[in-house]
Structure 1
Amino acid sequence: MSFTLTPSKSKSRPMRRPEAFNLVPLSLIPTPTPTPQQETSVPHLLNIQFHIVSVHGLSTASASKLARSMIRRVVHATCTGAHHLHCQTDAVQEGEAWNENTEQMGPVVGTDKIKFRVEQHWALTRRATTIATSMAYTVESLRVMQQKQGDKKSISIPLSSNHDESVEATLLLRVQEPTTDFVSKRWQEEAEKLEQRRAAVEGKQPASR
C-alpha cells in the first residue's frame, strides 16, 4: 500500500490594517512648543543679615545665681542651602537684649532654609547647650514677613524649648538685605593666603607656614 503526501491547504492569516490597531500617523500628532512658564529661570542671589533684638519667654535665673554662674546666651542662625552658612550673635548675659546685627550671610536664594537656635553658656563650667530652636523658614518667607511689618519693626519667630514643651518663647529680629558687596571671612582668608604665596614667590617675604 502506498501513501501520497499532499500539501496543506490551510489559508494564511491576512495582515491587519493599521487602523485596526488604532494607530495615528505621526504627521497628525501636534508637536508641543515650550511656553514662557516652562523656561527655567535663574535664581536670584542675595545676601541676608539679621538684626537680633531679644528673646522672650525663656526662664531666667535669679540675680544672685546670674552673678555666680555668669550665664550667657547666644543666638545662632544656620542656612541649609547649596552651602552650609552660619552666623551668630555675641554672648549676652541671660535676660539682656542683643540689639545687634549678625554677620552677613550669603549668597543665598529664596528657597534656602534658615533655622534659629538659642544656646546657653555657663562661664565657670565652660559648658554650653541648646535651650530653644525654631522651625525652618525659607529666605523668601522671612523676607515676606519683614515686608509686611516694615523696615523698622521686628518679626516674631516662635521658639520651642528643648527642656519644657509648654514654654512658648519668641525670638524678635529684623531681616535686612545689605546693599554693599559682601565678601565672606572665608573668602578673605583665602585671598590673604594667595597674596602671601604670591609675595613669597616674588621674594618679597618668606611664605607663612
Structure 2
Amino acid sequence: MKVIAITGGIASGKSAVTNQIRKAGYKVVDADLVSRQVVEPGTHTLEEIKEVFGQAIVQNGVLDRKALGQKVFGNDALLKQLTKITSPEIQSVIKDQLSFFKIKGEPVVFAAIPLFFEQHYEKTGWFDEVVVVASSERKQLERLMARDHLDEWAAQARIKSQMPVQEKIKKADLVINNDGSEAELAAQVAELLKNLEKK
C-alpha cells in the first residue's frame, strides 16, 4: 500500500485538497478528525487535559477548543504540555487506521496531517511521499482570520506555533501552491491524481 501524507501550514488549503481527493474515491486518514475523537467525553485524554488546564476548558462535559486555543497559542510551554498529552494518542489512532486500510487491500491511502514535520511523522517509516500545500503568510493570515474569526494577533500566534512553510517545502516530495484561485488549486490536485494513476 502506498501512503501519501498531505501537510502544510494552518489555513493553507489542506482541507480543499483532501476533499477533492476523497471525491475522487481515495481513502483519507484525517489527523484533525482524529484529534477531535481522542478528546471526546469519557476519554482519558480529556481527563488529563482537564487536570493540566483546569475544569474551565470543559463545558457540559465537552472540550471547549476555543478556550483551550486561547490558552496555548502564544504560550510555548502550555502548547508543549498539550502536545505531550494528545500527540501519542493521535499517532496511535492514525497507525491503526493505516493498518486497517492495508488489511483491506487499499492500493493508495492519503493521510492529512497538519503537524507532520513538527511531530516527526517523517521518522515513522509509514509514508512513501509527502505533499505540502503551501501559500504565502499573508494569504494564510487572511484565510485564518476569516475562517476562525480571529484578530491578527491571535492568527499570527497560531501561524508562528508551526514550522515555517518554507522549511516544509524543503522537505516535500511535491508542493501544491494555493495562492491562486480554487480552480487553480483543483487543477493541481487533479494533476497529482492523474500522475498517481499512471504509476
What range is the shorter-chain TM-score in? under 0.3
TM-score (norm 1): 0.23
TM-score (norm 2): 0.24
Instruction: Report which of the two has the higher share of strand.
Output: 1
Instruction: Report which of the two has the higher share of helix.
Output: 2
Q: Looking at both structures, which has the greater relative contact order when contacts are Cα pairs under 8 Å and sequence separation is at least 6? A: 2
